[in-house]
């Protein structure tokens, strides 16, 4: 065995070679190496060290040498040792020079009420049903499912989604044109990269939207071109040949809430056909509609010109990282190739579990429960504002998990309102945060807040409503 191996503590990254070369004895070299590792933060307080026998074998030195080194460092206060609990790094009041420290608690703004839009109530996640579906899926999965697979995703989930999306959203696709991705953000990034390869330089986006999606497009090399909005959705007549595609939220515009009018849907598809371009349909809140007939997916107008993007982030949980794209034939190969380069394939077990949930009917029942839960939440929000802040206009509530609260012109400026919200422990966003071009003046100077009413757990929802109403109460 080489000397470099016998002088290196692999599990702790302890290199005794230089210290030994400088004339230090084994025990002194080990003490110095451990002391330095604690000082620079590589061994954090509470870290359990290997037993003296294990470290001695790793370093190729006598166990007694390690015992003596541990004993000396314990006496100096660097380590602690308890019978039956082994040796651990001691808690120290002064951090090592290389260790990052957290900001003092006073510098943190405590969030007591999370009313950020776009987040579900995670307490609704169907843990029992998910576990049961996971067991069934794993018990019946073929062995080949555990290996490297198709970058499009597991066939079981693609088939289940084909049937489900056709039934509940009117999507026209098949398993060979569905791609499973780890979130809509990844799917959009893959699409933008594929469009860039095809020569696109820009992506048209709605005037108000989700800034992280705009960042994804720009990271893929596409400029973003904002489209104005009105009560009928995006002004698609402003589309031009500069853009290789347009990103729309036609079912429930995010965040304003307006569905895209039928004539504008048709106009966007017509533009895509005539210009050899694509429409990217983010089916935002498509499953959570309350006061109107379902608005079917725009993709059904032309599956070869509209890319449909859906997700389980709100119906189940964003942490699952499960989303899907229904792709036109011309984009299947380039997007699948880019997916393969990005991460080979999405994780298998969760795909199989979701497929089982869908095919068993459990997913439908879960979505119906969630829809009723969120509708009740919305109604409580609207009622509370009507009673305590009647000057606030509530819009965008026919579907989804959020509402836009519009204050009268001349009210407290949005920035000041947000500062007050933060001081009160309310996590909210202003409407201006959603602007695609924040350097341009907001189209409407009146302040507005985008309120997500899904996130607080049930026991905390009333307190969140009370805090919000107090913030908005006329002075």
Output the DSSP codes for 159-183. Answer: HHHHHHHHHHH-----GGGEEEESS
Nearest residue to 299 via CA among 272, 323, 321: 272
Q: Which two tokens mark 464?
A: 């969140």
Q: Which two tokens mark 303?
A: 């599956």
Q: Tens digits of per-residue pLDDT, 198-224?
A: 999 999 999 999 999 999 999 999 999
Mean pLDDT score across all residues of the chain: 89
Output the DSSP codes for 375-426. Answer: HHHHHHHHHHHHHH-TTSEEES-SBSSEEEEEPPTTSS-HHHHHHHHHHTTE
Contacts of 300 (CB under 8 A, 6+ apart): 170, 171, 172
> 10, exposed or middle or buried, with CB in 10 Å at 0-12, 13-18, 19+?
exposed
pLDDT at 475: 54
Given a cut of 50, whether residue 118 has pLDDT beyond it is yes
Give the pLDDT band of residue 11 (cuts 50, 70, 90).
Answer: low
Higher local confidence (pLDDT), 68 or 4: 68
What does the angle CA 398 – CA 403 – CA 407 come to, to the nearest 5 degrees?
Answer: 120
- Residue with tokens 């080489």, as numbered in its chain: 2
Contacts of 229 (CB under 8 A, 6+ apart): 206, 207, 208, 235, 253, 256, 258
Given a cut of 80, whether residue 101 has pLDDT beyond it is no
Given a cut of 50, whether residue 234 has pLDDT beyond it is yes
Give the pLDDT band of residue 442 (cuts 50, 70, 90).
Answer: low
What is the rounded average pLDDT of the residues 78-94? 80
Q: Tens digits of per-residue pLDDT, 284-311?
A: 888 899 876 778 899 999 999 999 999 9
Given a cut of 60, whether residue 103 has pLDDT beyond it is no
pLDDT at 262: 96
Given a cut of 80, whether residue 377 has pLDDT beyond it is yes
Q: Tens digits of per-residue pLDDT, 144-169?
A: 999 999 999 999 999 999 999 999 99
Higher local confidence (pLDDT), 37 or 281: 281
């Amino acid at each position: 065995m080489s000397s470099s191996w016998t002088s290196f503590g692999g599990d702790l990254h302890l290199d005794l070679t230089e210290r030994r070369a400088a004339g230090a004895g084994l025990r002194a070299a080990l003490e110095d190496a451990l002391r330095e590792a604690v000082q620079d933060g590589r061994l954090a307080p509470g870290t359990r060290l290997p037993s003296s026998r294990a470290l001695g074998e790793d370093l190729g030195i006598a166990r007694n040498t390690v015992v003596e080194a541990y004993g000396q460092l314990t006496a100096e206060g660097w380590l602690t040792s308890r019978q039956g609990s082994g040796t651990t790094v001691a808690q120290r009041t002064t951090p090592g020079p290389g260790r990052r420290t957290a900001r003092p608690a006073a510098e943190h703004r405590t969030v007591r009420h999370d009313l950020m839009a776009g987040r579900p109530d995670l307490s609704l996640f169907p843990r029992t049903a998910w576990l049961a579906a996971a067991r069934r899926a794993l018990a019946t999965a073929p062995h080949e499912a555990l290996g490297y697979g198709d970058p499009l995703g597991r066939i079981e989930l693609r088939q289940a989604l084909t049937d489900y999306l056709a039934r509940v959203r009117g999507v026209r696709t098949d398993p060979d044109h569905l791609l499973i991705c780890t979130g809509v953000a990844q799917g959009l990034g893959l699409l933008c990269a594929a469009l860039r390869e095809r020569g696109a330089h820009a992506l048209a986006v709605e005037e108000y939207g989700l800034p992280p999606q705009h960042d994804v497009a720009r990271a893929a090399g596409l400029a973003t071109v904002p489209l104005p909005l009105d009560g009928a959705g995006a002004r698609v007549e402003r589309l031009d040949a500069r853009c290789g595609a347009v990103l729309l939220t036609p079912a429930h515009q995010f965040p304003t809430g307006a569905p895209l009018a039928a004539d504008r849907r048709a106009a966007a598809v017509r533009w895509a056909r005539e210009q050899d371009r694509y429409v990217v349909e983010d089916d935002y809140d498509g499953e959570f509609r309350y006061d109107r007939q379902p608005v079917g997916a725009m993709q059904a107008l032309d599956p070869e010109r509209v890319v449909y993007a859906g997700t389980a982030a709100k119906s189940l949980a964003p942490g699952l990282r499960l989303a899907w794209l229904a792709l036109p034939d011309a984009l299947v190969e380039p997007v699948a190739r880019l997916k393969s380069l990005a991460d080979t394939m999405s994780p298998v077990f969760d795909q199989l579990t979701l497929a089982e949930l869908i095919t068993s009917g459990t997913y439908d029942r879960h979505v119906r429960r969630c829809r009723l839960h969120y509708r009740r939440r919305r109604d409580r929000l609207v009622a509370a504002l009507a009673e305590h802040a009647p000057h606030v206009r509530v819009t965008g509530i026919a579907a989804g998990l959020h509402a836009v609260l519009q204050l009268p012109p001349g009210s407290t400026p949005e920035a000041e309102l947000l500062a007050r919200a933060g001081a009160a422990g309310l996590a909210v966003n202003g409407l201006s945060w959603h602007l695609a071009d924040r350097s341009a003046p907001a189209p409407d100077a009146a302040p507005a807040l985008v309120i997500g009413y899904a996130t607080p757990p049930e026991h905390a929802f009333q307190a969140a409503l009370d805090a919000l109403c107090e913030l908005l109460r006329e002075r």
